[in-house]
Amino acid sequence: MKKSLLLLILIAVFTVESSYSQELKKLSEAKTLSASKIVEHSFNPLPYSYDALEKAIDSETMNIHYNKHFRGYYDNFLKAIENSELQSMTLIEIFGNVSKYSTAVRNNAGGYYNHDLFWQIMSPDGGGQPKGELAKAIDKTFGTFDAFKEKFENAAATRFGSGWAWLAIDNQGKLFISSTPNQDNPLMDLAEQQGTPILGLDVWEHAYYLRYQNMRKSYIGNFWQVVNWDEVAKRFEEATSK
C-alpha cells in the first residue's frame, strides 16, 4: 500500500514538473520569437565630415544638427515605440498608419527618417543636374530642370514655420513636389499628397539659422550646390521599379 502511494506521489510530482517545464519552454520560445521580430533601427554615421558641405551648410550647424537634433529624434523614437507592437514594424509600416499612433511616434519617427534621408541626398561632390531617367522624368513633369528648381524652391520658401520640401513619386510612378509641416513626410497616411520621397530639404530654422539667420531663400538656393543627384537617381529607380 505504501509503495503504491509513493508511486502515485512520484507520478504526480513528475507530471507537475513536466508540465511546468513545458510551460517554461513555451514562454522561452515566445520570448525568442518576439525578440526575433524586433526591427533594428540604426543611427547611421554622417557620410562626410561636418565641414564637407561648406558651400551650403557650415560645420557648426552640421555638427549640432546631426549630433543633437538627429540624435534626439532617433533616441526619442526608440523610447516612443518601446514595449509596443511598433517594435516589430519598419518605419514605412509605421508611417502607413501613423495617424493612429501618438504624437511622439509621429514626430520622432518622422524626424529620424527625414534626417537620415537628408544626409544621404547631399554630398561635397554634389551639384549640377541629374542625368538619365531621372532627368527625363523631371523634364516631362515640370518642363525643364530650371522650372523644377523654381517650383521646389517655392515649396521650401513658402512652408510656414518649420517643415520640409520634397520631390517624391506617387503610386502611379509620377514625380510631384510638396511640402509638409514639422517632421511629417509624404509616406505618412495623413500627408496631403502621398508618395515616396527621393529628395528632401529641411527648412527648420535649426538647419540654417546660424549662417543664414532669416534668409531662408539663400539657404535654399545654395542647397543645389550639394545635392547628390546620383543618390536621388538611385532612389528614383528603386521607387519606380516597385
- Domain residue extents for the chain: 58-242
To the question of pTM greater than 0.75 for the whole model, the response is yes
Across residues 206-226, what is the average pLDDT? Answer: 98
Q: How confident is the model at residue 36 (pLDDT cuts 50, 70, 90)?
A: low
Comparing 19-28, 38-47, 62-71, which segment has the lowest mean pLDDT? Answer: 19-28
Is 121:231 a contact under the CB 8 Å cutoff?
Answer: yes
pLDDT in tens, 170-203: 999 999 999 999 999 999 999 999 999 999 999 9
Instruction: Give the three cell numbers for residue 229.
Output: 543627384
Q: Locate cell 554615421: which residue?
A: 45
**How many other C-beta atoms can be found within 10 angstroms of the C-beta atom of residue 25?**
10
* Domain at 58-242, CATH class: alpha beta
> In this predicted structure, what is the pLDDT of residue 37?
87
DSSP for the chain, please give it: -HHHHHHHHHHHHHHHHHHHHHHHHHHHHHHHHHHHTPPP---PPPSS-TTTTTTTS-HHHHHHIIIIIIHHHHHHHHHHHTTSGGGGS-HHHHHHTGGGS-HHHHHHHHHHHHHHHHHHTB-TT--S---HHHHHHHHHHHSSHHHHHHHHHHHHHT--SSEEEEEEE-TTS-EEEEEEETT--TTSTT-SS--EEEEEEE-SGGGTHHHHTT-HHHHHHHHGGGB-HHHHHHHHHHHHT-
Instruction: Give the three cell numbers for residue 160.
Output: 510656414
pLDDT in tens, 141-160: 999 999 999 999 999 999 99
> In this predicted structure, what is the pLDDT of residue 242?
77
Is 196:187 a contact under the CB 8 Å cutoff?
Answer: yes
Q: How far apart are CA 34 and CA 106, in angstroms?
A: 24
Exposure of 41 in the CB half-sphere (CA atoms within 13 A): 24
Query: Could you give the angle at which helices 132-142 and 229-240 cross, rounded to 10 degrees?
Result: 80
Is 66:46 a contact under the CB 8 Å cutoff?
Answer: yes
Q: Order the strands of the 163-169 sheet from edge to edge.
A: 175-181, 163-169, 196-202
pLDDT in tens, 129-145: 999 999 999 999 999 99
